[in-house]
Amino acid sequence: MSIQTNLFINNEYLPSSTGETLSIYSPSDDSLVSDQIQVASEADVDKAVAAAKAAFHTWWATPGPERGRIMLKFADLLERDAKKLAKLESMAMGLPISVSTRLVHSPAAIWRYYAGFSDKLAGESYPPDGDGMYKIVAYEPLGVCSGICAWNVTHILAAWKMAPALAAGNTFVIKSSEKSPLALAAYGELVKEAGFPPGVINILSGAGAVGAMLASHMDIAKIAFTGSAGTGRLVQIAAAKSNMKHVSLELGGKSAALVFEDADIENAVLHNSDNFLANSGQVCVAASRVLVHESIASKFIEAMKVAFEAAEKGMGDALLESTVFGPLADKKQFDNVMRFLDESKADGVRILTGGERKGEKGTFVKPTVLLTQDTNAKVYKEEIFGPVITVRTFKNEEDAIKLANDTTYGLGSTIFTADIARALRVASKLEAGTVSINSSYTPSVQTPFGGYKQSGIGREGGLEGLREYLQAKAIHINMGIGK
């Protein structure tokens, strides 16, 4: 199949002004996918931002129903080309084709959800009420917005950033990850076919240097970043040092799953094995710390061992429909995960199953279960972002909550119990932006997604995600004139 490698600026595909390129290798078998991915230069970034700036007032002035119609058309095109877009994602970062196909339909729903808001951006009004002033609050777009996507679920992250921004009347410059640029590059033709005017959506590729240019650009009003906590800090610093642009950050996680003694063990094992491994553990909200009540620990741990060993049999080439679990995104991510596993062995952490490479080619790591009571172990405290889960026991509810909150992250938590009162009580005490009960966490178009503490600031998804792209303007009218 053909692969689009160019930048998309002002509704045109263009090569990099410097000719710089990056290469993508298949994580399934190490073969070269493309060595012609164009890397945006500073001049290219400026050109994309200028195009978005020139298009802003026209797009904002476009009637809400018309903006919504174009967005709905784009959603239809995403679904029409789902197989192609899914294959491009699988080729680049190894997400199994069966999973990546489903994940194209989810962003289509996000685009439709926000399209519905495009003509419903209401303001507020307040009567004089003794001060002689009639007061209006209007909500207006920010201007040129930008987004930097992580590589694990490109389509969802792009939709979370672009759809609410465009519904609100903003224009956009988005950058794909250097690990997974292929699918987003293909959006350009769909952008034109949907009817977006030139400059409304611009698509860039490249590594961290391109993201730094966007974070520090003086004509960008808002930047939304998904990625590591370390890079998120740099984005926030660059934003503050440039023009104090609005920033939203969706960063790392070390989410906890709490399995109480009355939990349905079969259900808890399913969500902490197959569901946890759905993208080979490369999900920021994946519950990679499992805390299980000591009274059921032996039974639960043995079931987890069986489930992870079975999952290994489902690993394979990302482009095969029969593959359930794929490789890690690239060699760098593979090396990072293996380094964690090597250090865990040196630290005396017990490896219940897995813990090593699978196969001679590709970036496959066997699904791994680690057992440790040491809360200072690196594999217990730090985000691994791979098919590696740690299990630890707890004594009671208070102990479980304390252990769950003992982290610098706060993206998600899951609770497994048959007692709904306990579930809600514990949920209220967890320091996390998302909580799921008796299930692994799956984002919804209707609810906000984001974290507490060092898991980020701001929210994506739901009404909160739309508010991230609006600013309030207060207008006061003196009603006493002419009396």
- Chain centroid offset of residue 54 CA: 29
Residues 70 and 132 in one domain: yes
What is the value of pTM for the model shown? 0.96
Q: How confident is the model at residue 1 (pLDDT cuts 50, 70, 90)?
A: confident
| 113/239 same-domain check | yes
Q: Assess whether 264 and 239 both reside in one domain.
A: no
- Is the domain of 117 the same as that of 175? yes
CA–CA separation, 464 vs 450, rounded Å?
10
Distance CA 370, CA 388 (A): 7
Q: Is residue 444 part of a domain?
A: no
Q: Is residue 483 assigned to a domain?
A: no
- On whether both 83 and 179 belong to a single domain, the answer is yes
Tell me: do 413 and 466 sit in the same domain. no
In a domain, 428, yes or no: yes
Longest dimension (CA), the chain: 87
What per-residue confidence (pLDDT) applies to 40?
Answer: 98
Residue pair 54/46 in contact (Cβ under 8 Å)? The answer is no
Residue 449 lies in a domain: no
Distance CA 286, CA 284 (A): 6
**Same domain, yes or no: 341 and 464:** no
Number of structural domains the chain divides into: 2
> How far, in Å, CA of 351 to CA of 336, rounded?
17
Which pLDDT value is given to residue 114? 98
Residue 24 CA to residue 375 CA, distance in Å, equals 37
- String of DSSP letters for 163-188: HHHHHTT-EEEEE--TTS-HHHHTHH
pLDDT at 483 over 80: no
Averaged pLDDT score across all residues of the chain: 96
- In angstroms, the CA 300 to CA 266 distance is 9
Q: Answer yes or no: do 321 and 464 share one domain.
A: no
Q: Does residue 450 form part of some domain?
A: no
In 3D space, the residue among 143, 109, 163, 165 whose CA is nearest the CA of residue 219 turns out to be: 143
pLDDT surpasses 90 at 386: yes
Same domain, 271 and 363: yes
Element holding 240 (H helix, E strand): helix 229-241
**Residue 38 parent element (H or E):** strand 32-38
Residue 16 belongs to what domain range? 7-251+455-474
Cα distance between residue 106 and residue 114, in whole Å: 13
Report if residue 23 sits inside a domain: yes
What does DSSP say about strands 470-478 and 171-175: parallel, antiparallel, or unpaired? unpaired
State the CATH number of the domain containing residue 296.
3.40.309.10
Q: Of 290, 314, 286, 315, which Cα lies nearest the Cα of 304?
A: 290
> Please, which pLDDT band fits residue 348 given cuts at 50, 70 and 90?
confident
Q: Are residues 66 and 110 in the same domain?
A: yes
Q: Report the percentage of the chain scoring pLDDT > 70.
A: 100
Distance CA 455, CA 55 (A): 33
Q: Is residue 442 part of a domain?
A: no
Which of 89, 178, 250, 312 is the catalytic position?
A: 250
CA–CA distance, 426 with 424 (Å, rounded to integer): 5
How do residues 209-224 score in pLDDT, each as one tens digit?
999 999 999 999 999 9
- Asked if 83 and 223 sit in the same domain, the reply is yes
- Kindly state whether residues 14 and 149 are assigned to the same domain: yes
pLDDT tens-digit series, residues 176-208: 999 999 999 999 999 999 999 999 999 999 999
In a domain, 448, yes or no: no
Is 261 considered catalytic here? Answer: no
Confidence of residue 392 (pLDDT cuts 50, 70, 90): very high
CA–CA distances in Å: residue 346 to residues 29, 278, 343, 352, 354: 30, 28, 5, 15, 16
Positive or negative torsion for Cα 341, 343, 348, 349: negative
Residues 399-425 have pLDDT tens digits of 999 999 999 999 999 999 999 999 999
- Residue 482: its pLDDT value, please? 78
In whole angstroms, give the CA distance from residue 51 to residue 440.
41
